[in-house]
Amino acid sequence: MKPTFIKERMVVNGRVYFPRKKRTTGLAAHPSPEEIDPKVLPVGRVSVDTVGFGELLRDLISEMRSVGAAYPLEYLEAMQNLSLVNPDVAQMIDNIVQLGNTGHKVMVESDSEQVRDAAIEELNRFNMTVFGRFGGIDGFVNSALAQIGRGGAISIEWVVSEDLTGIDKMVFVPLKEIRFLYDPASGEYAPHQKTCDLTQGDQGLIALNTATYQYCAMQTLDNSPYAVPPILSALESITIQRDIVKNLRFIAKKMGILGFVNFLIRAPKQSPGEKTEEYIARCQQFLDQQAQHLKHNYRDGIAVGLMDSFTVEHHSITGDAAGAKDLFEMNEQQVFSGLKADPALHGRTYSTTETYAGVVYEKMLSIITNYQRTVRSVLEYGYKLHLSLRGIDYQSLWIEFEPSKSLSAQRDETTYATRLANLKILHDQGIIDQNQFAQEAGYDRPAEEGPLREMLQEPGKVQKALDNLVEYIVQGNASESVSVSIARHEQRKKMLEAQLQNLKAREPNTPLLTPYAVKPMLINLDEILTKDVVQANAYFKGLFPEQVKMTAKKEGRSVFYEAAGRVNLTRLMRFATPINGAPNWTILELLAPR
């Protein structure tokens, strides 16, 4: 069913947009790029960059109309800030980026090699221009992986050029500003961007065009359209961690890391007739003076004073703080559990063995694969949309991330060799075919329909079996079962010959550079020598890269010379068209054995 659209005029930042508002039943919420009508695409960007905070009334109006998430959406901004200032969260995001961006290849299939090359060249230009603000495609992949780590989804908009001939740029739309409104007519959740200006869009909500905007969640809760952030479950433990660090900061600032020093100074004697208030004030002034002197002297680790004038006492706070270390480690492990990360990947040993570290690394690579799938889905959509707008008619396009580095490459190679051996047994027994063999071995399709070497040897084996059966009949052992066996072998032979003929027909027709193969393509030497002997001699000298060795031979009464050397057949084949018909006598006939 062809979709119908209602064009509604919208003015954003002085620019006029016609976002797609409704669609008929049968059109998916995120249509395929090949099926999108360029006429319904918005010209330029629909989302906006927010620079301030809205009023409470705007928040209430927009929030009441949007679909509620399973968690307060304000947490998204808090998680974004934590990824910048909290060391554990920042390292978790960095691990995802470093392990996830392994590089990737763009695979394009087309009936024409020229079209395929044009698509690859266009996508190379696309990566340099559209992703230029990120430093290229690798910078975009890094940012996309980090956005998934912070908020659990990728939120981007592909900005189409004004003439609808391609994509000009790509922008990230903050996840904290995305709101979904439920459309009862279509049963879909329509994405909107929450802005700070009530005059923009519909009461501060801008409808995002699903043909150019993508919200790809790695994981959702039931039917909620909002993504579940990976670090959401770590927020409570991080809050406790901040309180613990705050207390440690207070102790370190007030008492020092190694403890504190107590100076007990002998009080001055009270003078005769001195009032008590005056004496206390004089003692306080004396303590202040002594404190300044001790601070100055003890700063370098030296305390100077008169004997019996004061007493120094050192009080350590680490001796009674053994439980604090266990408490901090327990909370830190809870933080790592909430981050879905292992302490070993964050530099915390906690008695981790090498074997356990390898298991943790393999698990992390499995988690990273899910992140890569989300990035791959977004990139494939953008590539397909751009090529469709450019009018490049390709067959299929997909992205393959490079495999991550393994900690046990030798073990993986041994496992792969064992797997290939098992697959070969299944193939030889006829349980799986050549296509399934290739797919199980990690290839998209086989290069040949079957093992070529075995196929070439099979007709000889069948013919040998036929010869044995015929000899068996000649010896007077004819029977009906033997006749059936001969018929079956002859049918098998015909089938093999047909398969080999099919394979030969698919092979490129390349000339075989042998004297007998190129001899019919050469011109007559007599006519060359007749026209220009000097030029002919110079040409024939160029045919031989080194001197030709002449050896005298004698057979009976005949004496002749045998030439041994090399000839450049490539230069010889430049003369492809004979003069006045086929050649009568060529140099290859002189060299070819008889």
Residue % of the chain over a pLDDT of 70: 67
Tens digit of each residue's pLDDT (9 = 90 or more) over 432-482? 888 888 888 888 777 766 665 566 677 778 888 888 877 777 777 777 787
Is the pLDDT confidence value at 412 over 80?
Answer: no
What average pLDDT does the segment 218-243 reach?
87
What average pLDDT does the segment 522-540 reach?
61
What is the secondary structure of 232-254 as a DSSP string?
Answer: GGGHHHHHHHHHHHHHHHHHHHH
Tens digit of each residue's pLDDT (9 = 90 or more) over 310-352? 676 666 655 555 566 777 778 788 888 888 887 777 777 766 6
- Residue 437: per-residue pLDDT: 85
Q: Are 204 and 58 in contact (CB under 8 A)?
A: yes
Which is more confidently placed, 286 or 517?
A: 286
Q: Which of 230, 237, 232, 177 is nearest to 46 (CA)?
A: 177
Q: Are 358 and 408 in contact (CB under 8 A)?
A: yes
Residue 331: C-alpha distances to residues 1, 87, 337, 432, 533 (Å): 57, 14, 10, 53, 97
pLDDT band at 494 (very low <50, low <70, confident <90, very high): confident
Q: Which of 417, 456, 573, 453 is nearest to 510 (CA)?
A: 573
Pairwise CA distance, residues 373 & 154, whole Å: 11
Tens digit of each residue's pLDDT (9 = 90 or more) over 51-60? 444 444 444 4
- Residue 376: per-residue pLDDT: 94
Q: Does pTM top 0.85 for this prediction?
A: no
- Residue 185: per-residue pLDDT: 81
Of all helices (H) and strands (E), which one includes residue 203? none
- Residue 51: per-residue pLDDT: 43
Which is more confidently placed, 224 or 589?
A: 224
What average pLDDT does the segment 236-242 reach?
84
Tens digit of each residue's pLDDT (9 = 90 or more) over 372-404? 999 999 999 999 999 998 888 888 899 989 888
Which is more confidently placed, 38 or 21?
A: 38
pLDDT band at 360 (very low <50, low <70, confident <90, very high): confident
Bridge pairing between strands 104-109 and 15-17: unpaired
What average pLDDT does the segment 187-215 reach?
82
Collapsed DSSP state (helix, strand, coil) of residue 278: helix
- Residue 145: per-residue pLDDT: 94
Pairwise CA distance, residues 376 & 385, whole Å: 14
- Residue 520: per-residue pLDDT: 53
- Residue 133: per-residue pLDDT: 86
- Residue 578: per-residue pLDDT: 40
pLDDT band at 588 (very low <50, low <70, confident <90, very high): very low
- Residue 317: per-residue pLDDT: 57
Residue % of the chain over a pLDDT of 90: 15
Tens digit of each residue's pLDDT (9 = 90 or more) over 502-516? 656 655 554 444 555
DSSP 505: H
Is the pLDDT confidence value at 197 over 60?
Answer: yes
